[in-house]
Structure 1
């Protein structure tokens, strides 16, 4: 693979309009709507309903496979990445997978986001005697808040093992298409819902100007499940009140994922954001590969391996590149969003379950020199017109602070350090992959690169640099 500048007639993003792929994804849409919760599609069923079937390739004599990965309590891991997990499936470079993802905020409105959805119901099942997915986070199993301690909150589908992937390689992940997950409740047929939580970890939380201070507010949004409408609208909001989980633990604030909200304990306000239309841009907030530094790490904190870096550009048509640091790469995806602004200021986006069609391409270490992937040690995002470099307050927080040193990371995270990292990576990108001098790189960055705040809520703050591909020599 060599660097390529897209132009009229270019086929670099031809996978977006490939009739075979679109046919497969149309079938996936129909299957999902007909049987909410990931019932197996036609094909040879594997673990927990994962299916495989051949998909014609455009290269004569070759075939690639397509997998359908439902989201249920057997196909997800909650709140962590792990290099030691048993992979959900193994695929080859070039293969495709349609992957369901479930928002960890579904229990903010059980009627709209869980009821009638077999996959979601299997994940969120929790009563006084049992809990379908006990571990939620990378913390201790005997944590007083609950197993895993909520040190990681996202429902992650995976991991997926890419055959032949070795440390030093780069994994390319193309997001071919996305769809909103329709509500399984017949009362809300044809609609999708998401939750925005103005939370205690939000940037705004200690800077509220109206009473009562220290409040957490959940706003439920409605999205058209067909994708025909391009906007979301608020349905109602409510203030978090202390919730008692099925095991009897009281949660005065939102401190553990998946706690079911008792409707009788809240006061819904339906007079909220009347007339406002929020542009829908579905994307995956948490996407990446397993890091090597520890056996289990929180899903909350983004790093060089990707994870929860919350860039709304990670949607249909985008391609992500991740440095491989463990055998098989061990890819997982979750934290689906219907929409988000840069910074994700209040702590969350519109947290909304999605299904995505992905293609996986492996780039071997020996083939990287002379390409845009040379020296890649951070998540790189590409769209048809841009390259997006991701900087963090700590480029590798596990190496700098250790798996148990996240409290120090949280204290030291700042936009200054994230901006410095984004600049350093962008300068190195131009010098190492475009053969510019440092003076040339600095000038080009200053006059053409747009820096933005990715997020300020995930413990390891992020700044991204947007490089317009149009500036490259033709």
Structure 2
């Protein structure tokens, strides 16, 4: 079954995830949902005289709500029937579409990798050509867009939390692989999983060094599957022939160790290799990348082409 979840004042959590939030949609495993999302606050809207216009739904949410704990507008939560802590929720990103013809990018004193570089808050509006899949940057270049969701999450169990730091529940991961064609496994934290989506990006490099990328409103279609009792330690991404594991910590060393260790776990679970053999295999064939450095909890991801294990013992 295909459902539609629009972005409205009744379906948006602005700045937080909350296990006490009432579900706005209930679905069954195997269902798909088109989820509409919004991006940015009043400071990020096109100014007077701009050819670009905010979505009516965006204006309605800003008129009805204020941000609480964080800046991100999250659509949901979606309750998945039968999902319980310890289960694996698999979310397939079936489609990603632009919801508007503009994006924004902001710098702000005290934020980003170079917090002293911005003398004042400055938000740029960047036109988006969805038909061509390009954007013209204010300083000249035309760039190809690669849209993805910065936030896909199950709700954590520890009470209301800010939308800013990512964690084992997902959240503000800002991983460019959260795009069309990805299958993302989440460890269910609370009954029903309480899935949310938001923080659309039109384009971002690994690291997101100035605290924002090219942010925009996206609509996505997601298919939900459930595996009982097989929760991963943290989100895992399958896209194309790649498996991607992730780590989140206050420092990059710890996050790196988590991401790499979780890849070794995956190799050992899917082959007959020992952990030492998996260690060597990953050193030869896996790639570590910095996901983002600006969300409080830093992110690192480890990518392996699964075809590299063809012929491995037990594979």
Please report the TM-score for the alignment, with normalisation by the length of structure 2. 0.93
* Greater helix proportion: 1
Partner of 1:281: 146
Higher relative contact order, chain-length normalized (CA < 8 Å, sep 6+): 2
Alignment coverage as a number of residue pairs: 308
| Secondary structure, aligned partner of 1:205 | coil
Which one has the bigger strand percentage?
Answer: 2
Residue of 59, 77, 82 corresponding to 2:13 = 77
Report what 2:158 is aligned to.
293
Could you tell me how far 1:117 is from its partner in structure 2? 2.6
Question: What is the correspondence of 1:383-402 to structure 2 with a 5 Å cutoff?
Answer: 383-393=239-249
Alignment of 1:119-198 (within 5 A): 119-125=57-63, 132-134=64-66, 136-137=67-68, 151-182=69-100, 192-198=101-107
Match of 1:220 in 2: 125
The equivalent residue for 1:204 is 114
Q: What is the deviation of 1:232? A: 1.2
State whether residues 115 and 121 of structure 1, in contact with CA within 8 Å, keep that contact through their aligned partners in structure 2: no
Cα distance per residue 1:323-363 (max 9 Å; x no partner): 01210000000101111100000001111001001111111
* Structure 1 CA distance for aligned equivalents of residues 176 and 153 of structure 2: 15
Partner of 1:308: 172
Partner of 1:381: 237
Aligned residues of 1:105 and 1:195 also touching (Cα < 8 A): no
Asked if structure 2 preserves the Cα contact closer than 8 Å seen for 1:88 and 1:159, the reply is: yes
Aligned partner of residue 260 in structure 2, secondary structure? helix
Alignment of 1:1-400 (within 5 A): 65-105=1-41, 107-111=43-47, 115=53, 117-125=55-63, 132-134=64-66, 136-137=67-68, 151-182=69-100, 192-199=101-108, 200-206=110-116, 208=117, 214-224=119-129, 227-234=130-137, 272-274=138-140, 276-294=141-159, 296-365=160-229, 368=230, 376-393=232-249
Q: Quick check: which has more Rg, 1 or 2?
A: 1
Q: Distance in 2 between matches of 1:95 and 1:116?
A: 30
Equivalent position of 1:408 in the other structure = none
Q: Provide the C-alpha distance between the structure 1 equivalents of 2:2 and 2:244, rounded to a whole number of angstroms.
A: 28
Per-residue CA shift, 1:43-78, capped at 9, x if unaligned? xxxxxxxxxxxxxxxxxxxxxx11111111111110
Preserved CA contact (<8 Å) 2:45 2:54: no
Aligned residue for 1:317, secondary structure, equals: coil
- Rounded to whole Å, the distance in 1 between the matches of 2:51 and 2:183 is 29
Unaligned 5+ segments in structure 1 are: 1-64, 126-131, 138-150, 183-191, 235-271, 369-374, 394-412
What is the CA distance between 1:118 and its match in structure 2?
Answer: 2.0
Inter-partner Cα distance in structure 1 for 2:90 and 2:243? 14
State the match for 1:47 in structure 2.
none
Structure 2 portions without partners, runs of 5+ = none
3-state SS in 1 of match to 2:264: helix
Partner secondary structure for residue 164 of structure 2: coil
Q: Structure 1-normalised TM-score? A: 0.62
Offset, 1:432 = 3.1
For the aligned residues, what is the CA RMSD?
1.7
- Deviation at residue 105 of structure 1 after TM alignment: 4.1
